Amino acid sequence: MSMEIRGPIELPARREDIVLETADELALVGELAMPESSAPVATLVTLHPLPTAGGFMDSHIIRKAAARLPALADLAVLRFNTRGTTSPRGTSDGAFDGGAAEQFDVAAAMEFVRERGLPRPWLVGWSFGTELALKYGREHDVEGIILLSPPLHRATDAEVAAWADSDVEVVVLVPELDDYLRPAEARERFAAISHAKLIAVEGGKHLWVGESQTRRVLTEIVAAVNPSALPLPTEWPVV
């Protein structure tokens, strides 16, 4: 007997409430989800959408990555509220700073990864989170960055182009019907990074609403980070 994997379903994992300490002495609330009975093969450090527009660590793609990918793809998933952001997990200290002081939030997450010895970290940003990945990801030891619906509002052309000299993998998922940056313009804006992999998602929208779009996003994440886990199951056995 099995159940379909969709919506808010949460698959088995080891889940731990965590607190990240920033260099400017703020406490950020979060969660680490790990495979239930094995070591992770890689780590997703997730960066959520704009908090002033309702983004937080429970934004649905990030929540579903944490709910499914430890079990389906042997990945560790770290998610947290950036400064001043509230979710059911709690409220992180500080106040939203438009992407400036949030560099300390990214650094705190990466320090946690180092302290825990979590393997092969990737930054996975969604919308505002992509700006943080682009602006600050080069300062840290990451295997790659995955950008979901990048608006490129805060990351400058120079900050994008700076990735051209990096050997870090850059994967960009651009929805066909995005509200801010669509595939044709995205190809121009990311052209400076010759090794970037830009994936135009037919029918996709900025918020990736619906199970088919959720599965597409999670599949592309796993294709980059642990392709041996594909195809992702759509059902889970029920004992």
Query: Comparing C-alpha atoms, which of 100, 64, 66 is closest to residue 82?
Result: 100
Instruction: List the chain domain ranges.
Output: 2-225
- Segment 4-20 shows an average pLDDT of 98
Give me the pLDDT at residue 181, please.
98
Mean pLDDT of the residues in the chain? 98
| Section 174-202 average pLDDT | 98
Task: Express as a percent the part of the chain with pLDDT over 70.
Answer: 100
Report the pLDDT averaged over residues 24-32: 98
Average pLDDT over residues 142-158: 98
Q: Is the pLDDT of residue 65 over 80?
A: yes
* pLDDT interval class at 96 (50, 70, 90): very high
Q: What average pLDDT does this structure show over 207-227?
A: 98
Mean pLDDT of 15-28: 98
Q: What is the pTM of this model?
A: 0.98
**What integer pLDDT is reported at residue 239 of this predicted model?**
77
Instruction: Please name the fold of domain 2-225.
Output: Rossmann fold (3.40.50)
